[in-house]
A and B are shown apart, each in its own frame.
Chain A
Amino acid sequence: MSPPPLLRLSALGKRFGGVRALEEAHLTLEAGTVTALIGENGAGKSTLVKILTGVYAPDQGEIEFDGRRVRIASPSAAEALGISVIHQESVVFEDLSIAENVFVTHPPRRHGLIDWVDMRRRAGALLRQLESGLDPRALLRGLSVAERHVVQIARALSHEARLVIMDEPTAALSQHEADDLLRIVARLRGEGRAVLYISHKFEEIFSAADRYVVLRDGSTVGAGRITDTNLDELVRLMAGRAVAQLYPERRSAPARSAAPGGALPGGAPMGEEILRVHQLCCADEFEGVSFALRRGEILGIYGLVGAGRSELMQVLFGLRRPRSGRIELHGQPLELRNPGDAIRSGIAFVPEDRQNQGAVLGRSIRDNVALPSLARLGLGGWASTARETALAAEWIAQLQVRCQGPAQALQELSGGNQQKVVLGKWLATAPKLLILDEPTKGIDIGAKMAVHRLMRELATQGLAVIMVSSELPEVLGMSDRILVMRRGRVAAQFDAGSTSAEQVLHAATVA
């Protein structure tokens, strides 16, 4: 009778408020194998990892370790079982030495006192085992990302880890460093440990993994041996679902027609070109980005984390300086030194981080709505509360914000209504170009639909909209055109009506 698998997750479920992060997740890991965990953003991978490392408890389902049912109640419990995780924003203490970081939870002791000599010796041995020349006395602060990963792996080894979870380990590494890391992964496998490898890089997956598991919308939709599958199949599993009729009707636009003001069947005329970006480069973030945008058009920008989408938007809004390239608004070159310039040019930006960047949650709806328009609402340098209140009331009505009135504090509203207020404040500036970064993140389905309807209405009225989104269905459903970014470059541009989820995903993930 063969030994039970090292880890078996059965029908795991987890919800946060109204959102089901995991639905029916299954996972089986055997010792001495490398299993790739694949899925697009929001599929549930990080929730799964957090459950395995004791940060969350599942609402449903079972976890079996070595054939025994277990409850992983805390990170220490996970560690005690032999589960370790390595990710970028991790448990590292920059002011302390490598040796101390490796043994942070269990420093070697002699007569009750910490034994530094033994700690350094054992850390050195682990580092050498990983073929690293790092000095255990070195502080973590000066280390590169690749070197920090090695330290974390050393920590996992110091715990006799039986399952090592790696979350996008090569995301910030050079090719050379990535190769070194994959060699370490192979070594871990050879030592009989199980590795759960989360990555979007299919080249790595096919070269390093033995098995694969695909998550989609919180459920496992496919699993098996990597040799039994291929790239297309994996992409299909990741993306494939019918794009539900959740999105407003898109106007049918002729494919990339440059004719300005051409009238279209069933809709208002799609306007003239309003924005042209030519070979825009920003040091270390993106390069050679070129695209155009017309009035009334919604351009969806899709890509994985690190693709450079948000940085591109920041340049368009004057938050970041480009190194080279041209931006033209209405045919005139645009020089943006700061967001103020952008606002004066008619550009509005709704950032991804609503809590810290998009809104002032502690203030009232009125204060928020009036914020970018204070100059024109005021009377010679003095604020006019009456005008601000009137403006807020106008937008509350137009956007149907559910609230007690303009004086209510923004943080008391639901996420969806907060987002409406943020949109209202920008629409009050009568922009020509509206940039939205993850506009429906963290919002329930009803509010999502309302925001989408609003976006479509605005576009119909002639506003040019750029929408950055990590949700493939949203990008497909809302955009007129899709621009896919990958590792700082434009990988492809599609007309939304004539492309598919697989094509978009393919462009975003594959070389």
Chain B
Amino acid sequence: MTVRTFKPSREWGLGLLTLAMVLALSAHWPQFATAASLRSALDDTAILILLALGQMLVIVTRGIDLSVAANVALTGMVVALINHAHPDAPIVLLAALAMLLGGGLGAFNGLLVWRLGLPPIVVTLGSMAIFRGLVYVVSGGVWVTSDKMSPAFQELVRAPFLGFSTLSWLALLGTIAAALWIRYSRAGRRLYLVGSNPAAAAYVGVDPGRAQCIAFTLSGFVAGLCGYLWVARFAVAYTDVAAGFELQVIAACVIGGVSINGGSGSVPGVLLGCLFLGVVRNALPLIGVSPFWQMAVSGLVITIAVVLNERGRGDQHRRILELPNT
């Protein structure tokens, strides 16, 4: 059973590039390649990996989810507040609650796209603002800091198991689950049918709107889980959690070979895209790039990677905003 990659040459290229970066960095800064440092880098990237996998499902169906980061912020704030009010509530229960809430938010997006036929970019632009606004509403503008969170809440993500934190394990499990689902389940394959040719998909009995709704809901579930993970890891919940992070998530997908036109994208690709971004992000402070420049350099790297990715694609380019009747 081989996990079939879409364009093997592309992913190999990206993988080798990332590996080359890691080797080059550790040659110069040996502390980069220590187990502890790499584990920490993986932890840093775990949430990005999970969110990018969810986003991949949406992009494959020709959609886009700009609201993921706001989803993370809202669900994170909600479970942090619940934990503050009920410190004895089991953390696993809170995590499950976060997923349910996140899934509900995702379904909100999905239903608007499916039932009302609205373009995903417009829907999620709106829900992004709504969700983030709700963070402020539910918290009253007050931050939930680590002293307000129960110790169990904060430790679960860090809890080591066989050398890796729970966070890293979740990312790994998520990757495997996603890879298996999109390859071996009919529901997963339907996402690709819909993204590749929605009219033809409808002809063979697959409702494109419904598939998109499912993708948004799943993306929401994942974002909900990441909501808990984020506030637990950084031990703080406030309105601007993960602000702007949706762009990193989408960049990771695009770098990883997920086509904005829909219909193609692989889990290994997305994983590599996340690792590439993770290495870049961790490398910059190491190289001594001033924090003020880090964001610009990171953005530049992403832009170049995206341009190279789309140039390599050649043929069709579509708008993200679908015009009627065309």
A151 to chain B, nearest CB (A): 13
The count of chain A contact residues (Cβ–Cβ below 8 Å) is 21
Whether A75 lies near B204 (C-beta < 8 A) is: yes
Whether A93 lies near B184 (C-beta < 8 A) is: no
B94 to chain A, nearest CB (A): 32
Complex Cα gap A69–B203 (Å): 24
B254 to chain A, nearest CB (A): 16
Q: Please report which residues of chain A, range 111-137, place their CB below 8 angstroms from some CB of chain B when the two chains form the complex.
A: 113-114, 116
Contact of B205 among A105, A107, A109, A113 (CB under 8 A): A105
Q: Please report which residues of chain B, range 302-326, place their CB below 8 angstroms from some CB of chain A when the two chains form the complex.
A: 315, 325-326
> Residues of B contacting A91 with CB < 8 Å?
197, 200, 203-204
A179 interface residue (CB < 8 Å to B): no
Complex Cα gap A105–B259 (Å): 24
Whether A105 lies near B204 (C-beta < 8 A) is: yes
Complex Cα gap A464–B2 (Å): 66
Whether B204 lies near A104 (C-beta < 8 A) is: yes
Whether B264 lies near A95 (C-beta < 8 A) is: yes
B9 interface residue (CB < 8 Å to A): no
Whether A355 lies near B186 (C-beta < 8 A) is: no
Contact of B203 among A75, A100, A107, A114 (CB under 8 A): A75
B35-43, B158-166, B188-196: which lies at the A interface? Answer: B188-196
* Mask: chain A, 169-211; 1 = CB below 8 Å from B; 0 = not: 0000000000000000000000000000000000000000000
Complex Cα gap A105–B264 (Å): 19
Complex Cα gap A79–B259 (Å): 31
B259 to chain A, nearest CB (A): 8
B-side interface size class: 20 to 34
A500 interface residue (CB < 8 Å to B): no
Residue of B nearest to A94 (CB): B196
Whether B196 lies near A96 (C-beta < 8 A) is: yes
Complex Cα gap A141–B197 (Å): 12
Complex Cα gap A114–B184 (Å): 5
B263 interface residue (CB < 8 Å to A): yes
B215 to chain A, nearest CB (A): 16
A76 interface residue (CB < 8 Å to B): yes
Contact of B185 among A90, A100, A113, A355 (CB under 8 A): A113
Residue of B nearest to A104 (CB): B204
A314 interface residue (CB < 8 Å to B): no
* Mask: chain A, 55-77; 1 = CB below 8 Å from B; 0 = not: 00000000000000000001110
> Residues of B contacting A90 with CB < 8 Å?
200
> Residues of A contacting B205 with CB < 8 Å?
74-76, 105
Whether B204 lies near A95 (C-beta < 8 A) is: no
Whether B325 lies near A356 (C-beta < 8 A) is: yes
A92 interface residue (CB < 8 Å to B): yes
> Residues of A contacting B86 with CB < 8 Å?
none
Complex Cα gap A74–B206 (Å): 13
Instruction: Given A75-B204, A114-B183, decide whether A104 and B193 contact each other with a Cβ distance below 8 A.
Output: yes
Q: Please report which residues of chain B, range 144-184, place their CB below 8 angstroms from some CB of chain A when the two chains form the complex.
A: 183-184
Which residue, of B6, B192, B204, has the highest number of chain A Cβ atoms within 10 A?
B204
Whether A114 lies near B186 (C-beta < 8 A) is: yes
Residue of B nearest to A355 (CB): B325
Complex Cα gap A90–B196 (Å): 13
Instruction: Given A93-B192, A93-B196, decide whether A107 and B204 contact each other with a Cβ distance below 8 A.
Output: no
Complex Cα gap A93–B62 (Å): 14
> Residues of B contacting A356 with CB < 8 Å?
325-326
> Residues of B contacting A141 with CB < 8 Å?
315
* Mask: chain B, 197-233; 1 = CB below 8 Å from A; 0 = not: 1001101110000000000000000000000000000
A232 to chain B, nearest CB (A): 39
Whether B197 lies near A94 (C-beta < 8 A) is: yes
A275 to chain B, nearest CB (A): 33
Which residue, of A74, A93, A100, A141, has the highest number of chain B Cβ atoms within 10 A?
A93
A51 to chain B, nearest CB (A): 15
Whether A92 lies near B200 (C-beta < 8 A) is: yes
Residue of A nearest to B60 (CB): A95
> Residues of A contacting B184 with CB < 8 Å?
113-114
Q: Please report which residues of chain A, range 394-428, place their CB below 8 angstroms from some CB of chain B when the two chains form the complex.
A: none
Residue of B nearest to A361 (CB): B325
> Residues of A contacting B183 with CB < 8 Å?
114, 116
Complex Cα gap A76–B202 (Å): 11
Instruction: Given A105-B204, A114-B183, A114-B184, decide whether A93 and B189 contact each other with a Cβ distance below 8 A.
Output: no
Complex Cα gap A92–B197 (Å): 7
* Mask: chain B, 1-33; 1 = CB below 8 Å from A; 0 = not: 000101000000000000000000000000000
> Residues of B contacting A95 with CB < 8 Å?
6, 192, 195-196, 259, 263-264
> Residues of B contacting A96 with CB < 8 Å?
192-193, 196, 263
Instruction: Given A91-B203, A105-B205, A356-B326, decide whether A114 and B196 contact each other with a Cβ distance below 8 A.
Output: no
B290 to chain A, nearest CB (A): 42
Residue of B nearest to A74 (CB): B205
Whether A114 lies near B200 (C-beta < 8 A) is: no
A285 to chain B, nearest CB (A): 21
Residue of A nearest to B194 (CB): A93
Which residue, of B197, B205, B259, B325, has the highest number of chain A Cβ atoms within 10 A?
B197
Complex Cα gap A116–B200 (Å): 22
Report, nearest first, the 3 A-B pairs whose CB atoms are least far apart: A95-B263, A113-B184, A93-B196
Interface residues of B (CB under 8 A from A): 4, 6, 183-186, 189, 192-193, 195-197, 200-201, 203-205, 259, 263-264, 315, 325-326
Known A-B contacts: A91-B200, A91-B204, A94-B263. Give 8 more (CB < 8 A).
A76-B204, A90-B200, A93-B193, A93-B201, A95-B195, A96-B192, A104-B204, A355-B325
What are 21 A-B interface contacts by the 8 Å CB criterion?
A75-B203, A90-B200, A91-B200, A91-B204, A93-B197, A93-B200, A93-B263, A94-B263, A95-B192, A95-B259, A96-B193, A96-B196, A96-B263, A100-B189, A105-B205, A113-B184, A113-B185, A114-B184, A114-B186, A116-B4, A116-B183
